[in-house]
Amino acid sequence: MPSIEKLISAARKKRQTDDKINIVFKAYSFAEKIHQNQKRKSGEPYFNHCFETALTLANWGLDSEVISAGLLHDTVEDGSCSFDKIKKEFGEDIAFLVDGVTKLGHFKYREKTDKKEEVKTLAENFKKLILALSEDIRVILIKLADRLHNMKTLRALPPNKQKRIALETYEIYASLAYRLGMMNLAGELEDLAFPYLYEKEYAWLLQNVPEKYEERVSFLSRLKPIIESELVKNNIEIREISFRAKRYSSLYKKLKRYEMNFDQIHDLVAFRIIVETIEDCYKTLGAIHHLWPPLPGRIKDYIALPKPNGYQSLHTTVFCADNKVTEFQIRTEQMNEEAELGIAAHWAYSENKDTKSYAKKLASMADRKELVWIKQLREWQEHFEESGDKFINSLKVDFFKDRIFSVTPKGDVIDLPVGATPVDFAYRIHSELGHETIGAKVNGRIVPLDKNLQSGDVVEILRQKGKSPSRDWLKFVKTSMARDHIGNEIRKKSVISKFIWNKK
Ligand code: MN
């Protein structure tokens, strides 16, 4: 049930100082009044949805203005309120956020027409989404909180809408959350969408997993005191030792890779150990390995080499008692917060330092991987002229699909879609480098240019000045960025050669 006290205390818990908290009270009663006679499809009062959206934003540590905009986000779209009214009552900033969310909201409820029309609409909505992302990230955070609650209440909608919204959530919003480093949200959205998209598989998991979960939890509970005393012996300050059950959607993906064999899943339930400092993380890793031997090749140092989305943690898998294999994740509190909240956590942190204006705050975060990604997305969209399904497909492949991260000889991480080749790699660094590529070395060895790169590959491009790209590359490149550059360059060169030929 909505309660202003609950909302305010959630907001206060994450940020003690926020001089604008009064505006949340005002937004609360304003939105409650606008929606007072409206019901959701489920029959519950419409305002519940606005409240839940705002509560999520408060739990992410966002400020009063964003929480207020969350409360107000449907007042213009579904209510009987005008943009000017919001602006008069709540000021420019909140009105801008509400307006941004309203504009994005249009496409969700558009009914299907013929297929071509649908694709065009989808493409246009992607463009809106990208624009909103690069203009004001807070609009997207509100949209994600809104979508989270819509997914939680999806049962109330007719089946064809359930499927469509679940698919959109799975493919777009969950990926977007992942790219923004909001791992918890990404997993939650996927899990909420999963039963609608994989009905049978979900039923199968429900039947087979809970018992296995329980079995694992009781096994890990017996190990917990052993770990605690070992860490204490090593003078490590423990903040928390907890179990983390693998989510159904990601469990299913993994099971499929192992022919549905549970014995191959070592992280069905994993330990998560949170300690004070980075030094303690490594000390903990040592202590665990002192207790139980690690599985070769399964120690991952994402502190020294973070994942492309910024994720940091130490992972290891060890042979525990009875030769049961168990995974550990070790990290500091800040890493944990960032792993779960991603850009929202950075946003909240940077606000505590006195970066008041949006532009200033954004500038202070400009190197963040999430923001670099948004910038790339924006640039890509600007030079992509077509807006049919080619647009959507390459958007999905280039920006939302599973990623690998390869490394330059200098150690810079280059983030590419699965299946990318050295040519994609070269074009991602610079179009000139792409054009002048004549060969590539992966981990020190010469490879063919159509080789599929793997995560962790160190890639060195061999170039020759003045060289032109080959038409054959179009057969294997994966990114549309590379494809476009190659196509343009070939066209340009052929126009020039024709021109020279004509002059003779
Ligand atoms: Mn909404």
pLDDT, tens only, 42-78: 889 999 999 999 999 999 988 899 999 999 999 987 7
Are the beta carbons of 304 and 333 closer than 8 angstroms?
A: no
Are the beta carbons of 315 and 300 closer than 8 angstroms?
A: yes
Q: Which long-range contacts link 362-370 to residues 24+ away (Cβ below 8 Å)?
A: 362/137, 368/310, 368/343, 369/181, 369/308, 369/309, 369/310, 370/179, 370/180, 370/181, 370/309, 370/310, 370/342, 370/343, 370/346
What gap in Å lies between CA 294 and CA 496, rounded to an integer?
61
Q: How far is the CA of 59 from the centre of ligand 1 (A)?
A: 17
The widest CA-to-CA distance across the chain, in whole angstroms, is 86
Closest Cα partner for 308 from 480, 481, 178, 170? 178
Question: What amino acid is encoded at 283 in this protein?
Answer: K
Residues 6 or more apart whose Cβ sits within 8 Å of residue 215: none
Give catalytic residue positions. Answer: 77-78
pLDDT at position 450, please?
A: 95
Closest Cα partner for 452 from 419, 406, 413? 419
pLDDT at position 102, please?
A: 86
Q: How far is the CA of 336 from the centre of ligand 1 (A)?
A: 29
Are the beta carbons of 344 and 141 closer than 8 angstroms?
A: yes
Q: How far is the CA of 49 from the centre of ligand 1 (A)?
A: 7
pLDDT at position 323, please?
A: 75
Q: How far is the CA of 344 from the centre of ligand 1 (A)?
A: 19
pLDDT at position 108, please?
A: 43
Q: How far is the CA of 265 from the centre of ligand 1 (A)?
A: 38
Q: How far is the CA of 50 from the centre of ligand 1 (A)?
A: 7
Q: How far is the CA of 376 from the centre of ligand 1 (A)?
A: 28
What gap in Å lies between CA 96 and CA 16, rounded to an integer?
25
Stated as kind and residue range, the H or E segment containing 82 is none
What pTM was estimated for this model as a whole? 0.74
48 exposure class (CB count in 10 Å sphere: 0-12, 13-18, 19+) = middle
Stated as kind and residue range, the H or E segment containing 295 is none
Stated as kind and residue range, the H or E segment containing 318 is strand 314-319
Task: Report helix, strand or coil for 20.
Answer: coil
pLDDT at position 355, please?
A: 46
Distances in Å between the alpha carbon of 214 and those of 139, 181, 220, 301? 40, 30, 10, 29
What gap in Å lies between CA 414 and CA 328, rounded to an integer?
27
Q: How far is the CA of 115 from the centre of ligand 1 (A)?
A: 26
Q: How far is the CA of 146 from the centre of ligand 1 (A)?
A: 5
Q: How far is the CA of 235 from the centre of ligand 1 (A)?
A: 49
Q: How far is the CA of 145 from the centre of ligand 1 (A)?
A: 9
Q: Which residues of the chain have pLDDT under 50?
A: 108-113, 352-355, 504
Are the beta carbons of 94 and 86 closer than 8 angstroms?
A: yes
pLDDT at position 398, please?
A: 63
Q: How far is the CA of 23 from the centre of ligand 1 (A)?
A: 20
CA 55 to the chain's CA centroid: 20
The predicted-structure confidence for 235-284, as pLDDT tens digits, reads as follows 999 999 998 888 888 888 888 888 888 878 878 888 999 999 999 999 99
Distances in Å between the alpha carbon of 329 and those of 109, 123, 299, 404? 41, 39, 10, 21
